[in-house]
Chains A and B, each alone.
Chain A
Amino acid sequence: MARELSREELHGLLGAYALDAVDDDDRDQIERYLERSPQARAEVESFREAAALLAHHGTDAPTGLWDRIAAAMEEEPPRLHLPSVPDRQPEPGSVVPLASPRRTISLRLASALAAVAAAAIGLLGVELVRENHRLDRVHTARHGTVVERAAEQARTEKGVRTATLTSADGTRKAKVVYLRDGTGFFAENNLAPLPASRTYQLWALIGEAKEPTVISAAVLGNHPGVAPFRMPGPVFGFLVTDEDAPGVVSSDRPAVMQGTFPAA
């Protein structure tokens, strides 16, 4: 068994560690040290940044290598690390009956066109769920920084629309930033935290205001921060419900808050 290294010894090995130049036993100890020392982690990253510049040289990537990478992307779809999924795993693309505090919004597909649109969205559903979970992972891994920056950037994009969602009593508010390509961000909000057994869920209102299709856009968690989502289509507004975790396919819960885009 390897000798336990002192803090000074571990710190002295950070340079070698950054260059993958330590033995396995040392590496294990250094990585445990890095877990508890942000300063050491930053130092390793700075060493790697400098070393990376040494690696640059004039080699072009081989012809055909990208084609193989692209083919592998197609053959082996990205693995998802979904949490244990209940029978009622929410899927974007699902149509929900939904009740507001004041009135029940009866939702149905009123026309063949709407049915076709829903079918198309249904086909997208699996991919959108996968995408949302990947975005969730990115979001979680970054402690929100990337997503928050992206949301800020989105506000300045051409064609961006912002919906202000408000609770019935006006005390709870949130903003949804929505881009022309269907990318959106559930942004600043003052929603009250929920117990761990519950989650907020964001729904997009699509089609005509008189008879909207309501589609799950994102599961926001029990204490939402900035959350990205993707919901292409003629979206005109959003609402948020409070659901059993990890979310639902359809809902008859009242909206916690809702809002539409201001008229152009």
Chain B
Amino acid sequence: MVCVRSENLREASDARLVLAIARFEHEALAESYRRHGGAAFGLARRLVVDRGLAEEVVQEVFLRLWNHPEKFDPDRGSLGSYLLAQTHGRSVDVVRSESSRRRREERDARLTAEAGYDLEHEVWDLTLAEHVRDALSTLSDGERAAIELAYFGGHTYREVAVLLDEPEGTVKSRIRSGLTRLRSALVDTGSVGHGA
């Protein structure tokens, strides 16, 4: 049934949740937030650093889902993936804005100084963490660095090339091959579905 009642919200599929959102059911958006709000906030915080800005990004992302539920297509990926892509894109916009440049530079300096910083530390769920850790282990160091700087640093591949002192084409290829390898490994563990 499309009308998602509060008692079964937690089992509702992404498609059902979004259809319920289209019907102005606040509880459906609340359930979406319960499922993905923490990850969205964590990602936004990683990128924009400032807590208030991160909250604004997350608020904007969920209100966009509320106002434009038709933008989400469950055939093209999960709701979590969609919301995190929205969060990432909006965060990158913020990061790249002139007003945030200084904050970003400060953050980059801080991250560089942090010992032992790596992608594995960003993964939360224990089982999923293991799968993601295994998947990450299939990447070369160059692939990991390029993906990390692009995704968590909010840099363009051209900027990543400068940061890593590598040719742009190399960085571009490493991002793509790394993501392909990452996805393939995650599909093998069942962490993401089969698809493209």
In the assembled complex, the CB of A167 is this many whole angstroms from the nearest CB of chain B, namely 27
Q: In the complex, A43 Cα to B76 Cα: how many Å?
A: 10
Measured between beta carbons, the chain A residues less than 8 angstroms from B26 are 70, 73
Contact of A12 among B89, B125, B176 (CB under 8 A): B176
Measured between beta carbons, the chain B residues less than 8 angstroms from A82 are none
Contact A49 B183 (CB under 8 A): yes
Contact B176 A53 (CB under 8 A): no
Given contacts A50-B192, A73-B66, A183-B3, contact A59 B119 (CB under 8 A): no
Contact of A57 among B16, B66, B122 (CB under 8 A): B122
A30-49 residues with Cβ-Cβ distance < 8 A to B are 39, 41-43, 45-49
Measured between beta carbons, the chain B residues less than 8 angstroms from A55 are 39, 42-43, 46, 84, 87-88, 122, 151
Q: 1/0 per position for B154-182, CB-CB distance to A under 8 A?
A: 11111010000000010011011111101
Q: Which of B54-62, B99-107, B108-116 touches A? A: B54-62
Q: Chain B interface residue count: which class? A: 35 or more
Which B residue sits closest to A44, measured CB to CB?
B196
Whether a CB of chain A sits under 8 angstroms from the CB of B147 is yes
Whether a CB of chain A sits under 8 angstroms from the CB of B49 is no
Given contacts A43-B196, A57-B123, contact A19 B78 (CB under 8 A): no
Whether a CB of chain A sits under 8 angstroms from the CB of B191 is yes
Q: In the complex, A47 Cα to B177 Cα: how many Å?
A: 10
Whether a CB of chain B sits under 8 angstroms from the CB of A117 is no
Q: 1/0 per position for B1-43, CB-CB distance to A under 8 A?
A: 1110100000000011011001110100110010001111111
Whether a CB of chain A sits under 8 angstroms from the CB of B186 is yes
Q: Which of A89-97, A101-109, A141-149 touches B? A: A141-149
Instruction: Select the residue from B23, B128, B180, B193 with max chain A CB neighbours within 10 A.
Output: B23
Whether a CB of chain B sits under 8 angstroms from the CB of A88 is no
Measured between beta carbons, the chain B residues less than 8 angstroms from A76 are 63
Identify whether the interface residues of B are mostly helix, strand, loop, or mixed: helix
Contact A52 B1 (CB under 8 A): no
Measured between beta carbons, the chain A residues less than 8 angstroms from B29 are 69, 73
Whether a CB of chain B sits under 8 angstroms from the CB of A168 is no
Contact of A50 among B66, B128, B186 (CB under 8 A): B186
Contact of B158 among A23, A60, A145, A183 (CB under 8 A): A23
Contact A61 B40 (CB under 8 A): yes
Whether a CB of chain B sits under 8 angstroms from the CB of A262 is no
Given contacts A14-B176, A56-B124, contact A146 B18 (CB under 8 A): yes
In the assembled complex, the CB of B35 is this many whole angstroms from the nearest CB of chain A, namely 10
Q: In the complex, A150 Cα to B23 Cα: how many Å?
A: 13
In the assembled complex, the CB of B33 is this many whole angstroms from the nearest CB of chain A, namely 5
Instruction: Select the residue from B33, B46, B151 with max chain A CB neighbours within 10 A.
Output: B151
Contact B76 A41 (CB under 8 A): yes
Measured between beta carbons, the chain A residues less than 8 angstroms from B37 are 61, 65-66
What 6 pairs between A and B have smallest CB-CB spacing?
A: A15-B176, A42-B196, A59-B42, A61-B37, A141-B70, A21-B150
Q: List 14 A-B contacts (CB under 8 A).
A: A15-B175, A19-B179, A45-B195, A47-B180, A50-B192, A51-B179, A61-B41, A134-B22, A135-B23, A137-B69, A140-B70, A146-B19, A150-B16, A228-B2
* Further contacts, 6 of them, CB under 8 A, given A46-B192, A54-B119, A70-B30: A47-B176, A47-B180, A52-B80, A55-B39, A134-B69, A179-B1
